[in-house]
Structure 1
């Protein structure tokens, strides 16, 4: 088990490795879990980032009271109710009616100040807002559902975990819906049940990015009249002018706003080997990559000082030197790259180019798609061994498609929460450490107990970030 450093540390303490416990983030008793919500109650839900992914989440929650929306561009939100041809979507009629009734805010900080009837908040903003929105909500005693990646930095994750631990009545969930799926849970049971033997090697891949990446920054253009660009930038410490290559969908590949492909898909893929094998935090991480976006023709091996877009493709190798069953290596591939085919793989087997996970055991192989879907076993005797593995993990009512309702039912005390911050933060930290190694451009050696990079002191700066005034966490 890894201990987590106290999230109440100052930034100087964090970067200096001081393990001071100051308890800055405990909530007053009057704020924690503001009202008792019974199984028969409807939960008063607000959403931050009401269009796009937020609309997908909220479409699952129309049986609750949707009381408030915060978004920087409600014209963009309106597109969530129509198809590509502009026709009304029948599956979004209830959501549109609920949105029409809800109070609307541009700035989520003002929403929290104005509305005291909110019980729970869905946060579906770009990555750079996640931690600030979540912390602000939790400090007001609100349950939170936060899209993946949970946070932009390692430190932010530890701050949220500290808040969650100090306030156990708050129900927290990360939006990695595969964690609630039946297939993913069975995959975990099969690995834990020893069906393919001892696993020392895991390969994880995705076809992301599906957005601009590995490119130079585009020239600013006039923003849509309906978009509050300054609020969209929020905590990002840059003064970039608007370009559609940033918002509303394409922000993931740009360093101030997103955490690249690892942030997008790591929570849907790395989740399962971490869950099944419980290796703890990585002890060594190295990233090999294509060129950073905007490089000159002369490449000196270092990322540009003014980082723009992430490299188009990365291979990140995680070493888990303290895994309970012995050292484990997990390798991540993105940008369309995929692992080599194991010699034991039959000609009929196919790695899904969209994304998947391959476990290499000493008694066979297991492979599954993104979200833990469609696990396939390969090797002599694996099917017989699999048949003997009992169901040990609880199944979530409604499975992967009910991840949002699992959060609601947990708030009402009806069902255990699927992916609380106690689970999500270590997973998120593992993901984000890949981006830290990318920024360091050298292998990093990591002490998960203190949350420190031990071999490259200067790289510890990448565990944290700077914020624009008014947006600090």
Structure 2
């Protein structure tokens, strides 16, 4: 692998170097079950529109996106020439919103906001969330929660200092009935002590492992400077970045593990509570860069993440003894269990396999469709009672769970207290990949202890006016 000295440094400060200094104000108003929540949306196309479609019963008062022309395409009401009645409410909500290109301007102008939905590219998540929380606003942030480890720790610190703010990450499987049953079965000992977990995904399904393309003319509706936001690169626009393909490019996303780790790694971390990893090591294909990919000197600039990787986490402080979790992406998968039940298979899209003393448990992405692998495990499972509350609407009720929690109607499903350590774990895989060697991690201090120079990968630099 390439040495650290040949890698692009995203940040210059260690992740443990201070938390957020500015205290947040208390939420502007206390809401009762009969109140509607005034919501601002940051990032209105794609997933933002999907999230917004679950919230049309509330007051969506503002929307900020650097390409409102693109966003408008997400709110068309005709499908195959016919009007889709399910989108009429969404279109009506969109039409009523005050619209901004820059969410900083929205925060300055809008004083009627209670809560903020953030569905931007990864590099904006923490910056937008901090701005909202410091204004006393509840936040729903799409996964991954942040771009860097320091940002995850910073948002967790801010949430802890302001417990009246309701926070939620957009890992909707955390609210699903199947996923919650998985937690009950693992904790109930249906497969015995678990010392090994394997997780896999078919992502990336976007450009990755390639050099950056040449800049081209941007769409007239796109404010490219705002889209770049905190990113310090001066890359010109290319459709390989915006609007969907940003995940694989180093300045804007955190690759496959950032996209799907929150839907897969979430469950073993939730079930087994192993704490933060103590050791992380990776194997991966070549990074995308600006030099000949067969040049052994490596790329002068890391532009896109490797096409495929394996990340091995060791949780040395797990309460039940050391736990090893191995992540596969880019279409790589672990070995198929030999005693798989008839009709069951390892879905190429993604899944998790728990290897226990008495057998195995496997489920698909979002915790769906758990399968027990081993003798008489179904009988054992039937004896394990339900112990976790179920979320109204299940996986599809994740957004409304946030809004009901804001009104005090029910407990929040995936608050930053859970989401931030999960995101930190995911991002430590990226840090090890960037370091080019295994890293030892002190979770209490938030520092890599065996490769001092690698601590730079726990943080990043910010463009002026977009600091975290």
TM-score normalised by structure 2 residue count: 0.95
Matched, 1:165 2:160: yes
Look up the match of 1:395: 390
Distance 1:70 1:86 in 2: 29
Alignment of 1:174 with 2:163, yes or no, is: no
| 1:349 aligns to 2:327 (yes or no) | no
1:430 maps to 425
Counterpart in the other structure of 2:21: 24
Are 1:145 and 2:140 matched, yes or no? yes
Q: Look up the match of 1:335.
A: 330
Structure 2 runs not aligned, ≥5 long: 1-10
| 2:5 matched residue in structure 1 | none
Q: 1:105-147: per-residue Cα shift (whole Å, max 9, x none)?
A: 1110110111110000000000000000000000000000000
Is 2:70 the counterpart of 1:76? yes
Task: Supply the distance in 2 between the matched residues of 1:320 and 1:206 (Cα, whole angstroms).
Answer: 21
| 1:357-390 deviation digits (Å, cap 9, x = unpaired) | 0011110010000000000001112111101111
SS of 1:15's partner is coil
Structure 1 contact 81–89 (Cα < 8 Å) conserved: no
Q: Aligned-pair distance for 1:95?
A: 1.1
Find the partner of 1:229 among 224, 229, 238.
224
Tell me which residue corresponds to 1:298. 294
Q: Which consecutive residues of structure 1, in runs of 5 or more, have no partner in the other structure?
A: 1-10
* Equivalent residues of 2:41, 2:117 under 8 A apart: yes
Q: Once the two structures are superposed, what CA deviation does each residue of 1:176-234 show, in whole Å capped at 9, x if it has no partner?
A: 00000000000010000000011111000001011111111111110000000000000
- 2:195 equivalent in structure 1: 200
User: Of residues 82, 93, 97 in structure 2, which corresponds to 1:98?
Assistant: 93
> How far apart, CA to CA, are the structure 2 residues paired with 1:216 and 1:110?
34
Give how far 1:161 is off.
0.6
Counterparts of 1:35-434 in structure 2, within 5 Å, are 35-82=29-76, 88-294=83-289, 295-300=291-296, 304-346=299-341, 348-434=343-429
Query: Secondary structure of the residue that 1:215 maps to in structure 2?
Result: coil
**Cα distance change, pair 299–388 in 1 and its aligned pair in 2 (3 A):** farther
What secondary structure, in the 3-state scheme, does the structure 2 residue paired with 1:383 have? helix
What is the distance in 2 between the residues matched to 1:276 and 1:415? Answer: 21
Secondary structure of 2:14's counterpart equals helix
Q: Distance in 2 between matches of 1:48 and 1:219?
A: 28
Q: Distance in 2 between matches of 1:236 and 1:417?
A: 32
Measured after TM superposition, the shift of residue 93 of structure 1 is: 1.1
Q: How far apart, CA to CA, are the structure 1 residues paired with 2:61 and 2:55? A: 12
CA contact (8 A) 2:16 2:150 kept: no
Equivalent residues, number: 456
User: Are 1:439 and 2:423 an aligned pair?
Assistant: no
Distance 1:100 1:173, change over 3 A: same
Query: Which residue of the partner structure matches residue 457 of structure 1?
Result: 452
Match of residue 467 from structure 1: 462
Do 1:25 and 1:163's aligned partners in 2 also have CA atoms closer than 8 Å?
A: no
| Cα distance in 2 for residues equivalent to 1:208 and 1:143 | 31
Q: Would the aligned equivalents of 1:291 and 1:312 in 2 still touch at CA under 8 Å?
A: yes
**Correspondence for 1:3:** none
Question: Is 2:15–2:456's contact at 8 Å kept on the other side of the alignment?
Answer: no
Contact 1:49 1:123 in 2 (8 A): yes
TM-score (norm 1): 0.94
